[in-house]
Homo-oligomer: A and B are copies of this chain.
Amino acid sequence: MATNKKLNFPKRKKKKSRQQNKLGKAPGTISYMGDKERGDSVIYSTTYNADGYETKEFTDLEAFFAEKRTDQTSWINVVGISDEPFIEKLGKHFNLNPLVLEDIVNTEQRPKVDEYDDYIFGIFRMLYISEEEEIVGEHIALVLLENTVLVFQEVKADVFNGLRDRITGKLGRIRTRGADYLFFALLDAIVDNYFLAIENLNNRIEILEEEVYSNPEPVVAKNIQLLKKEVLKIRRWIFPVKELISRLIDSENPLITKDTKLFLRDVLDHAIEINESLQIYREMSMSLMEMYMSNMSNKMNEVMKVLTIMASIFIPLTFIAGIYGMNFDHMPELHYRYGYYVVWIVMILLFIGMMFYFKKKKWL
């Protein structure tokens, strides 16, 4: 078959950004989008049932595949998703669709839940408060298979320690239930931590509120705008979650038992509550800006009043002084015995009159 190689048309794009690296690639291409240093992926595997539990750590995939996991529930925690071939091999082992793998390493992916025949796949944002008291959102991917939950995260640090303690300490129901309960418990931990983010926003709004009243500097306006952007950003991460969980509850996938759905309903409740709070914070940040503007305008009023009072009092007085500073030959008042004192008295009366006028206008 003949091939004439003038196929490509003039290109349309100029700047190179991370987003562009994906342009033109086939869908299902696994390419890491995050900004963490590329390092090796590590697998932390926790298997448990009502009788006991076992945790292991693998850096070698072959060793991991060699392991046998029988009638227990397995929590396969993959830390580090920048090693694309690693992820690809793992995905193949668990029979995951390439599109799923693409989403797992796409750290910009918005929250989603996709159901496949043999597994349910979800992307979420794990929110936590950083050392600098800032809200950080980290990409996390969950895959629920039969007896197994895969968790993919970028760095070894997460919000699941309470859950780990419940497994090791045999607290609550977790050890007696299957993988779908584990999946729920992970989701629950993620959503519960959203409350911390919400609390952090609340604190910042309260601080800004106080500043707006006490000290409406331009920097406060800037901070209000930053807050608004933050609320928008977090809303983007959190908003879809409500819908996704609700879809899980309505799903007829046999992987999720009716019993676990009861628990998911609880998570849904929390997600709805968080969305409502975010909505309120959005309106409150708008009110903050409004309040800032009103305080600015108030300060301006105050400045103008000082100016007006000073000018209105002293300009007429200066005019009177100017009159008697004129050098006409014939100015009888200048020669009066008490002319100077009369002028002073007139000035003082004028001053007092002005003061009364401004008092009446409540400008003083």
Interface residues of A (CB under 8 A from B): 1-15, 17, 19-20, 22-29, 46, 51-56, 97, 99, 102, 109-110, 112, 114, 128-129, 131, 133, 156-168, 171-174, 185, 188-189, 192-193, 195-196, 199, 213, 218, 221-222, 225, 228-229, 232-233, 236, 262-263, 265-266, 269, 272-273, 276, 280, 283-284, 287, 289-301, 303-308, 310-312, 314-319, 321-331, 333-340, 343, 363
B12–A129 touching, CB < 8 Å = yes
* Chain B residues positioned under 8 Å from A300 (CB to CB): 297, 300-301, 304
Partner of A287, one of B27, B29, B225: B225
Nearest B-chain residue to A290, judged by Cβ: B289
Nearest B-chain residue to A217, judged by Cβ: B298
Contacts A298-B218, A307-B312; A228 near B287 (Cβ below 8 A): yes
Distance in angstroms from A226 CB to nearest chain B CB is 10
Main secondary structure of the interface of A (DSSP, over half): helix
Query: In the assembly, how many copies of this chain are there?
Result: 5
Nearest B-chain residue to A46, judged by Cβ: B7
B26–A174 touching, CB < 8 Å = yes
B213–A222 touching, CB < 8 Å = yes
Complex Cα–Cα for A318 and B322 (A): 6
